[in-house]
Amino acid sequence: MNRILSLVDIGRDLLVFLGDYADRGLYGVEVIDTIADLLERFSGRIIALKGNHEDYSDDGEPRFYPCDLVYEAERKRGGWIRYFSEKLKPFIEKLYLAALIPGEVLMVHGGVSSRIRSLDDLRYPSLEVEGDILWSDPWSGYGEYPNRRGVGVEFGVDITESICAKLEVKMIVRGHEPMKASIGPYSEHNGKVVTVSSTRVYGGKPFILAIDPSAPLSISHIPIG
């Protein structure tokens, strides 16, 4: 996290996190603490999106597996229920489902689906749309099918093209599959879906994606180290 912060100028840049702040290493509690602090100190310059690893019931039951954060909070914060109610739940309530550069880029954690018909579906999502955004994955063909993860969909090239047209963007930037982006940004669907990863947990090379607001499609990636 410190390395990421050293690569940006918070006074000038807009920093967007794409979700899954825990269960990607040994320091999930510390990552969440840091991002929560950044959201407090640099309101408007930091945007944090919700990932499927921030998907819990109201009483703290994770909707994904495995959830290492439960055991990490037990060790470091003295108990899961207290940590969830006092720290994690308020943090999750500050997360956005999507971020958008008008006319250019949609940023989500997982993906999209045919249920998304307009920007209002991102502003006021149904439970089904939220599940699709948090859990969905692109696949190389056409059409839309139930996701093998059990939640969300696998969306094809035609779904991506339809969503980009409806939302008037040129590409979708997402996380969710760090192994796919193990050596750098992974582009598919004719360059309209780009997967990124900032974790080295799976043996990959973490990086951040830099988008120039004056030329948003001229993206580059910067190794975190």
Q: For residue 42, what is the DSSP state? A: T
Q: Using alpha carbons only, how large is the chain's radius of gyration in Å?
A: 17
Helices 68-77, 28-41: inter-axial angle, 10-degree rounding = 80
Nearest in space to 16 (alpha carbons), one of 156, 153, 175, 161: 175
Q: Would you tell me how many other CB atoms lie within 10 Å of the CB of residue 132?
A: 26
Q: How far apart are CA 183 and CA 196, in angstroms?
A: 9
Residue 6's nearest CA partner among 199, 223, 181, 205 is 223
Residue 221 among the catalytic residues = no
163 and 170 Cβ atoms separated by less than 8 Å:
no
Retrieve residue 128's tokens: 């089904």
Across-strand partners of 63?
Answer: none
Active site residues: 53
